[in-house]
Structure formats: structure tokens, C-alpha cells
A and B are shown apart, each in its own frame.
Chain A
């Protein structure tokens, strides 16, 4: 396994690599390029980098305009700010299907030191509610790179959710990412764990704990929240008959909500959603936040055990 690489480093490096291949790729920043690592692109291609200041609404407007001229704009800011411009996103990106790739950095709880105002735990639910919007939450640096390559190759609006800290490596260079495709990371027969984004590393740890206790655990990673890979989710639910979703995000409207929608319509299956329970988080170190809001590997494993106990006795 290679060294953990933070998603933001993968983001910056991939922007530069794509910039060399795709002359129409441009990047817009709202005063956070050093943190998001968009600065790497700014240094490599200063003429294709636009610093718009702390003006996220304007950033989306400019990006949408550039996209109508054939450019492929990536907008880059923190996830908490990537939705302060929802009206612009809806009106000039999503509704007219403009080719703007919105990236939300420092998402979830792993931004504790920036303070509670900066914790974005509703972003996937918000973006997922918009027609035409693709929503992707990669699990590690490799998947960030593959997802960005895939996003540049297709025309249309997208939201890419990234996290700040180095993420444990899950995929290697041979991984084939496909927009709208979920991947089975572990095979099992007793229970299915479904997760997205950075949470998938903790979900895999939970699966290891459960397997060590003799609970055969199937793990499905869902990098694309929208369009959702319903077939893979339904098949996994059929196989084990019990499902736990896990996400570093609100349990309302994100992965848990999406899986509940699909299963209740197509394959009713007892479901437990692990995630932030409709509250705002606090300012605290990251580990303390993961613990308090119940999204550590231990929490996922405990949720799976009690789910099994409830339905299999």
C-alpha cells in the first residue's frame, strides 16, 4: 500500500495533470487556494486560474459563463462555503446543465480546528436534491484522481466532496472508477455495510472487527451519491437481508437517505443509518468529533451488531 495522501493534495496534483492534457480546464478560487491545494494549478497555469475573492456567488456565475464558452471550470472552496451560493448553483449551473465542477473541501467533521461554523454535514443532501447534479464523495486520494478524470470526460454539473486530512489508502492505481457505480470492497453473508467518502475507511475497519467476531460482513462503497447505483445496493441488501449505512454527514438526505429511498421502494430491508443525527457539530479536535457524533469504526460495528441482534433473534 502506498502512503496516505490527503484528498486536497490529490486534488491539486490532479488539476495540474489534467491541466496539461485539457487546455480548456480552468480553476476558480474563493480565497482558499493554499488550503484546497488549487494553488498548485495556479502556479502551473496562472493564466487559467481565477482568484475571485471571497465571493462564492460570483465565482459560480463566472464559472457558468466560462463553461458556456467551452471551458471546463472547477470551482474550489470549502464545502461549508460551496453551498452559500445555492441560488446561483441552481439557476446557472444545475438548471441549464452547465459544465461546472464544484468542489467542496474540508467536508464533514474532519475540519474541527476550523470551528463549528466550517463543518459541512448537509452538503451532499443539498446537492443531491438538485436535478442534473452529479454528486461524488471519493474515499481516498486515488479515487479523487480517478473521479476528477471521469468528471472532466463528461459534460454536466457536478459536486465533488473532499476531506482535509490524509485518508487511509483503499484503492491502487489499477482501480477503475466509473461515475454512478458502487464497488463491493468485502464479500459477506450476514450483514451489509454501505458507506461513502472518507467514512469508507472506517467502515472497512468496522467490517474487520465484525469479521473477527465471526460476523460475515459485506461492504459496499458508494462514491457516487447521484446517480445512485441502485442495482448494486439492492443486490447487496438481498444477499444479507440487513443493511447499515455509514457517512460523515447528516443521516438526513445523504447516503442513508438515498439508500432508504431505494430499498424501501424496491427491496424493503431493515436499515440503520450511522451518521450525524440532525444536529450541528461543535468546535473540537477531529477525533473527538468523530467520537461524539458516533461515526468511528467502533460505532459502525456496534450499530451492525445491535441491528443483527434485533432482527436475527
Chain B
């Protein structure tokens, strides 16, 4: 509201849009409605990107920074826990630390991916 009213076109926000909160997926716990429309209603320029692809993120930021007269928001679609098979897209891992065995398995999976 204030960012668009003050015409802050040097401001870019990034939403880590992983759709998960502590108790469940947002859509099950409390649906928040259309994300992009909400930002637009507050006067923001909206772009979306793949939050796991650096090139996609950079392209979105560059586009938004060319927009004059209003702030920009990049909605970065992400999968929480990506790269760790047993954590991916699972609300149970929103705030839970892994135990020793889980930690080692997660490290192995992430190393293999790289």
C-alpha cells in the first residue's frame, strides 16, 4: 500500500511461495486466495518465476527493475525441502530438525544432486 503510494520503483520483493505453513498446506489450513491478484490490488507489478532456477529468478528481477513508477514483486514458486526426498513438499518438516541419521541421508541426497 505505502510502497506503491510512494512510487517505490527501486523496491523489489521476492515471495518464497512454497504453499506450506506449520500445521498444513495453506490451502488446507486457511486458503489465502489469489496471491498475484492481491499484490496487483496493492499497486505492485507482479512476475512469477521458478524459485529453484537462478536464471529464472534473475530474469524476473531484471524485468521488474525496468518497471517505472511502482514496486515489483517476484513470486518464486518453490518446493519446500527440495532435494531431500523425505522432506520435499511435506508440512511435517516446516519446523522439525532432522535426527543424526536423517541429517546424513539429506546431506548424501543433496551431494548426489550436485
Chain A interfacial positions (CB closer than 8 Å to B) = 50, 52-53, 55, 58, 62
Contact = CB atoms under 8 A, between A and B. Distances in A.
A63 to B, nearest CB: 11
Contacts of A53: 1-2, 5
A-B interface, 3 closest residue pairs, ranked by CB to CB distance from nearest? A52-B2, A58-B2, A55-B1
10 contacts: A50-B6, A52-B2, A53-B1, A53-B2, A53-B5, A55-B1, A55-B2, A58-B1, A58-B2, A62-B2
Interface of B: 1-2, 5-6
A52 B6 CA distance: 9
A28 to B, nearest CB: 10
Contacts of A50: 6
Given A55-B2, A58-B1, A62-B2, 7 more contacts: A50-B6, A52-B2, A53-B1, A53-B2, A53-B5, A55-B1, A58-B2
A278 B5 CA distance: 41
Contacts of B1: 53, 55, 58
Contacts of A55: 1-2
A62 B5 CA distance: 13
B94 to A, nearest CB: 20
A245 to B, nearest CB: 41
Contacts of A52: 2
A53 B6 CA distance: 12
Nearest to A58: B2
Nearest to B6: A50
A49 to B, nearest CB: 12
B42 to A, nearest CB: 11
B36 to A, nearest CB: 21
Nearest to A59: B2
Nearest to A52: B2
